[in-house]
Amino acid sequence: MRTLKFLLVTLLIISAVPVQARRKASKKQQKEQVQLPAKVDSISYAFGIDAGNGIKAAFKDIKERSDLELKPEIFVQAFNNVLLNDSAVFTKEEAADILNKFGAEMQRIAREKQKIAAEKNLAEGKAFLAAKASEVGVQKTESGLLYVVERQGTGEKPTLNDRVKVHYTGKLINGKKFDSSYDRQPLELSVGGVIAGWQEGLQLMPVGSKYIFYIPSELGYGERGAGKDIPANSALIFEVELLEIIR
C-alpha cells in the first residue's frame, strides 16, 4: 500500500507530456525542445525528473511483487484527465476502491511468496545441516546445534548470566555474509540475550576459543527471520571468537 499511496501523490507532479511523444524524440532533440530560461523552469524540470524516477521505481516494485506491468501511457492519460479537468473514466472514489483492492491482492501474493520461500529455506537448511553433521570434526548437541572447534582456549567458560566480548562473522548457508564485528569492533553482549544457538554455543567455549556454529532455524530467528538480510527459516553459520568474560 505504501507504493500505491506514493503513486497517487505523484500523479500531481509528473510531466503531462504523452509518453509516446517522449519516446520518439532523441535525448538531443528533447534538450532542444525543452526551454528552461528561468530558475523556476529548471527547478520545475528537476522536480519532474525526481518524480519520474520515483514513479519508475514504483512501477518496477509493483512488477517484482505482483508480476503486473503497469502501462505508463494509460497512467499519464489519467493524469492529464485530472490535471486538465477532463472527464476521467473513474471517480476519485472508484479509483481509490480499485487501488485498495489491488493493494490487498499484492499483500496476499506477498504472503504466499514468503510462505513458499520459508518452506524452501527450511528444507534447504535441514539438508545442509544433515550433510554437515557427517563431516569430520563437526560435533552436535542434543538441541541440534552443530559446531567445529577452530581453536580451543584455556580460559573460563561463560554462564547464561555473564556478559562477554566476542568477534564474529555471520553467514547464510549459501555463503552470503550478513554481518561481521571484524568490520567494526568486538561486540559486548549478554549470553542470555542472544538467539538460542548462540546461548548454547557460547557456554561451550573457554575464553580464547574460536568456534564455528551451524545453527538450525529453530535455534536462530525461526519463522520471523531478521530484517531483509536473514530470511524466515534460515539456518545460519557463525564464526565466533570468545575474547573475554566481562566482570
Distances (CA, A) of 224 to 36, 104, 115, 200, 219: 52, 21, 11, 20, 12
Reading the block at residue 174, the C-alpha cell is 549459501
Q: How many CA atoms lie within 13 A of 45 on its CB side?
A: 11
Residue 178: active-site member: yes
The conformational region for residue 67 under phi > 0 = left, psi -120 to 50 = alpha, else beta, is left
Residue among 79, 128, 221, 237 flagged as catalytic: 221
Active site residue 179: yes
In whole angstroms, give the CA distance from residue 71 to residue 64: 15
Q: Quick check: is 214 catalytic?
A: no
Active-site residue (options: 147, 168, 213, 214): 168
Active site residue 221: yes
168 is catalytic: yes
Residue from 90, 238, 245, 246 carrying the catalytic annotation: 238
Assess whether 195 carries a catalytic annotation: yes
Q: Provide the CB-side half-sphere exposure for 166 (13 A, CA).
A: 28
Write down the catalytic residue from 102, 109, 173, 179: 179
Catalytic residue numbers, as ranges: 168, 178-179, 195, 221, 238
